[in-house]
Structures are given as C-alpha cells and as structure tokens.
C-alpha cells in the first residue's frame, strides 16, 4: 500500500478510535475514580480487580469481551476481543495479538500517589478505541486480538514477572501501557532494580549493668548504613542505593539482639546492577564482622529489569501524540530526567513494548500526597484519555502497516542482543 493510500485508510479509523474513547469518557472516568477511592496494596487489589472485570463484562454489545477473572493470579485478569477478520487466520496461522496493560496497586499510607488508577484507565480506554475502530470493518478487518491484561503488584513484588513466568505474555506481538508523570515523554530511562532485606542477629543484655555481655545488632545496622553512605563516593552517577532501618531494638536499656534493614539498588543495566549489589552486600557483611553479629541477606522475589526502548514504536507514538496536541520533552531531557524502575522492563525482554509517560495537569511529584490528589482530579482526565488515544492510534499503525510491525520486531531483537552483549562484557 502506498503512503497516501495508507494514510487515507488509517485516518478514519484513528478518528473512530478517538471518538469511541470520548463516547466512553464518563464510564472510564468512573472506573478510574472507583479504583482511586479504594487504594489497595500489591496482590491485595480485590476491589480494583472487581471494578475492572465488571467494566469489560458490562461493555456493550453484550459479551463482546471474553473476560477471565483471577487470571493466573488472584487479582490479575485478562479480557479479550477478536476482530471480525480474526476468523480468517493470518498467514502465520494466528491473529495479530496486541495487549494493553493495566496497573492498579497503590502505595502504603499514600494511596494512588503514582497514579496507577490512571494507568488502568489508559489501558482500558486504548483497548476500547482499537476495538471501536475495527468492529465496523466487518470482514475487511485484519485478524486481530485486542487483549487487556490486569497486572497487579507493580509497586512491590512484580506481578508482571509472575505473569511472564506463568506464560501470560506468550504469543503476544506488542504490548502497550503508559504511566503518569510531570511531563509527556515517549520514553524515560527506567532502570534495573534489586531489593534486599538484611537481618542482623546479636545478643541481648542489660545496657547499663553489663553491656559487655551483649552483641549489638543495632550497631551492625547503623554501621551498614554508614558503609553504604561511604560507598556512594565510589558509585557511578547512574547508580542508586536507598534504604531504611526497619527494626532497631525494643527498649533503650536492652542491647538490641535483632535489627533489620530494607534496601533497593538500581543501575542502568542488569550487568551493572550485579556489580552494585556485590559491593553493597560486602558492606553488609563487613558490618556483621565488625560488631560480632551474624547476618542474613535475602534478595527479593523478583529483580526488575531495565526497560528496553523500541525506537519504531516510540516514533509512531510521538507522531500520533503530536497530532493530538501532546508536547513531548526533548531526547536530551528524556535521557537525563529522573527515573525509577518497573516490572514492565521484564516484559520488554520477552515481547516488544512501549511505556511512555504522560502529564496529568499537575507539577506534583510521584509518591507524594499532592500526586495522590492530582491522580484523582477531574483535570487529569483530559490528559489521560488523550494518551489513550495516542496509544490506540499507534496500535492501528501496527495493525495496518505490516512493514512497521517488522521494524518493531527488528528493533526488539537488536536491543535484546545489545543488552545480552553488555551483560557478558567484563
């Protein structure tokens, strides 16, 4: 298909996707507010799970989505819609499978201070938009499955990694999601992350009468904290180490026999993360040796991988976003903006994906009370649905431009090979 023909065919479909999202705006806003008003922690998102599964079960026309509640995890789900053309299988023997991811866990004490209620709304809205564009094509539609995956426990635990291990991402061609932020960025450097719990065991004693009989576990924790602070001088600028002393004793006149720290380590790649983790664990063990304590170091269930960017998906998303009025930050700003970690990184190691960030009408910073308020505001709705439209339009580009999908796959393979090379270089 020539570029002019391609554009003339896609324009009405992209317009219909946007219209479908606007038509559902009230229901989508209610969905987001229902999740926001009852914040739930990782793996406990039972209310959000119910809200989302009912949303797709009640979508008209009736039974248009096949919904699987409790999909491999108690609070995960899968909703699926097949285009009319999916009955005629593709040359590969199966329809193209595009997945939109929803997150919906909250933060302890802060609620939805990272805007995961909006992530759930974006995923649902974009999927509705793509379905709305395709369902009117009847037999002319390419064979496509539009899938919505509810992925719990991003803030702690890594629900997407559980789903990967259960095979939930098998046979998917491209995955889409978007995350609230302070600006619109087609990509940010989300880094690899490893967390540890460190436990020191000493010996209790009376702190005034005979302290020499005790072995102070709190001293070990404080020394470990200081060791890591000293280590920062030799850390690369892109490395991050941050933690808390979770348990430091029970009473001032008792030598603490037990202490506990929780730390997160972050680095741009898994290779660098392993180096940083080794240095930090040496610091923990040194504190035990110096104080006479024994130490137990336990890593988290899952490491979060760095997000692999896909330049073809990013380019398509940016073009569609600009047409909707989105003003993206520059590439230099993207590469130098503060970033965190996400289990979406692990997803990008098994299937091509895109994870842009979007402005929600507030300059408040994520993980603050002010951002919780912004995530539940009416003002955020315009920006959230605009982002959903851009994702839906990008998905339509993938569906109707086979050469674009091939470039997406090439980019994915290239970045994966590059990452594997970096992780094997000494």
Average pLDDT, the chain: 93
Beta-bridged to residue 168, according to DSSP, are none
* pLDDT band with cut points at 50, 70 and 90 for residue 60: confident
> Which backbone phi and psi does 402 adopt, to 5 degrees?
-55, -35
Q: Which superfamily is assigned to 3-190+307-422 in CATH?
A: Zn peptidases (3.40.630.10)
List, for residues 187-235, the tens digit of each pLDDT value. 999 999 999 999 999 999 999 999 999 999 999 999 999 999 999 999 9
CA distance 281 to 236: 17
Say what the pLDDT of residue 91 is. 46
List, for residues 377-418, the tens digit of each pLDDT value. 999 999 999 999 999 999 999 999 999 999 999 999 999 998
Where exactly are the structural domains of the chain?
Answer: 3-190+307-422, 192-299
CA distance 146 to 380: 25
CA distance 216 to 218: 5
List, for residues 77-107, the tens digit of each pLDDT value. 999 999 876 544 544 568 999 999 999 999 9
- Per the CB < 8 A criterion, the answer to whether 161 and 346 are in contact is yes
Say what the pLDDT of residue 422 is. 60
CA distance 404 to 396: 11
- Residues 6 or more apart whose Cβ sits within 8 Å of residue 137: 83, 84, 85
Strand 144-150 and strand 96-102: pairing? parallel
- Which percentage of the chain shows pLDDT scores above 90? 87
> How many CA atoms, within 13 angstroms, populate the side-chain half-sphere of residue 307?
25
List, for residues 145-155, the tens digit of each pLDDT value. 999 999 999 99
Q: Which CATH architecture has domain 192-299?
A: 2-Layer Sandwich (3.30)
Question: What is the layout of strands, in order, in the sheet containing 96-102?
Answer: 66-69, 77-82, 144-150, 96-102, 174-176, 353-354
């Amino acid at each position: 298909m020539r570029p002019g023909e391609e554009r003339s065919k896609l324009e009405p479909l992209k317009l219909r996707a946007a219209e479908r999202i606007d038509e559902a705006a009230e229901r989508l806003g209610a969905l987001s507010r229902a999740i926001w008003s009852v914040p739930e922690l990782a793996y406990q998102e039972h209310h959000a799970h119910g809200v989302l599964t009912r949303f797709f079960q009640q979508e008209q026309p009736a039974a248009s989505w096949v919904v699987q509640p409790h999909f491999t995890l108690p609070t995960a789900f899968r909703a699926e819609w097949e285009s009319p053309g999916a009955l005629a299988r593709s040359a590969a023997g199966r329809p193209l499978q595009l997945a939109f991811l929803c997150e919906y866990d909250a933060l302890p004490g802060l609620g939805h201070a990272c805007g995961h209620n909006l992530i759930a709304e974006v995923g649902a809205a974009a999927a509705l938009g793509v379905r709305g564009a395709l369902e009117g094509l009847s037999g002319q539609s390419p064979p496509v499955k539009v899938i919505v995956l509810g992925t719990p426990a991003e803030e702690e635990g890594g629900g997407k990694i559980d789903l990967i291990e259960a095979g939930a991402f098998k046979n998917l061609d491209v995955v889409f999601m978007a995350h609230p932020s302070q600006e619109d960025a087609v990509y940010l450097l989300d880094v690899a992350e490893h967390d540890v719990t460190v436990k020191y065991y000493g010996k209790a004693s009376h702190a005034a009468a005979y302290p020499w009989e005790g072995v102070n576990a709190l001293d070990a924790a404080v020394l470990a904290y200081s060791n890591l602070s000293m280590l920062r001088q030799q850390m690369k600028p892109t490395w991050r180490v941050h933690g808390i002393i979770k348990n430091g004793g029970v009473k001032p006149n008792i030598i603490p026999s037990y202490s506990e720290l929780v730390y997160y380590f972050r680095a741009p790649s898994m290779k660098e993360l392993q180096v940083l983790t080794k240095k930090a664990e040496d610091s923990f063990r040194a504190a035990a040796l110096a104080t006479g304590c024994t130490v137990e170091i336990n890593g988290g269930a899952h490491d979060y991988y760095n997000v692999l960017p896909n330049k073809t998906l990013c380019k398509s998303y940016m073009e569609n976003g600009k047409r909707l009025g989105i003003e993206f930050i520059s590439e230099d700003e993207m590469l130098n903006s503060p970033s965190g970690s996400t289990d979406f990184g692990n997803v990008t190691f098994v299937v091509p994906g895109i994870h842009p960030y979007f402005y929600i009408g507030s300059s408040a910073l994520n993980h603050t009370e002010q951002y919780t308020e912004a995530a539940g505001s009416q003002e955020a709705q315009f920006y959230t649905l605009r982002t959903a439209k851009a994702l839906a339009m990008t998905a339509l580009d993938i569906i109707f431009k086979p050469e674009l999908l091939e470039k997406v796959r090439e980019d994915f393979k290239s970045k994966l090979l590059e990452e594997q090379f970096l992780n094997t270089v000494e």
